[in-house]
Amino acid sequence: MNAAALISTAFGIGRSPVAPGTVASAVALPIAWVVQIYLGSIALAVLALVMFGAGVWASAVYARDTGNDDPSECVIDEVAGQWLACAFGPVSIISYVLAFALFRLFDISKIWPVSWGEAQRGGLGIMLDDLIAGAMAGIIVAVVHNAGLI
């Protein structure tokens, strides 16, 4: 497996036979937890953006190599989006469950502006919808947290 395939499939997680995007989002959570505890929320957000950049390249290469515009096994977008969603809130089970649920809801439903991101071409289109979904989820988590509800 080449570097683009390793990155775009999140080291093979995208080859999960059932719900690869959801599996990738779930696997991203404990990594986010550790990064956020030891390095902070800003570091987690920066890591999500670095992963986004790497994912744009890797997903474009993988999509070209497979001849598929948006291969379901490209799940690095879920990892980056989930990390961004978690970066907005505190390190707590309730915050992470809410970030996960909202991120998956927005990613799957493709409500605007997530649908706009998905309409972009190439690796950017593969990655951008999930980054937008992650930002939307994260903003809601931050609002709920700042309201004292979590």
**Closest residue by Cα to residue 81 from 128, 37, 124, 122:** 128
pLDDT per residue as tens digits for the range 75-106:
999 999 999 999 999 999 999 999 999 999 99
Size of the chain, expressed as the number of residues it contains: 150
**So what's the pLDDT on residue 9?**
94
**So what's the pLDDT on residue 69?**
83
Helix (H, G, I), strand (E, B) or coil at 42: helix
**So what's the pLDDT on residue 38?**
98
pLDDT along the chain (150 residues), means of 10: 90 92 97 98 98 96 89 94 97 97 95 86 92 97 91
pLDDT per residue as tens digits for the range 105-117:
999 999 999 889 7
C-alpha to C-alpha distance for 7 and 15, rounded to whole angstroms: 12
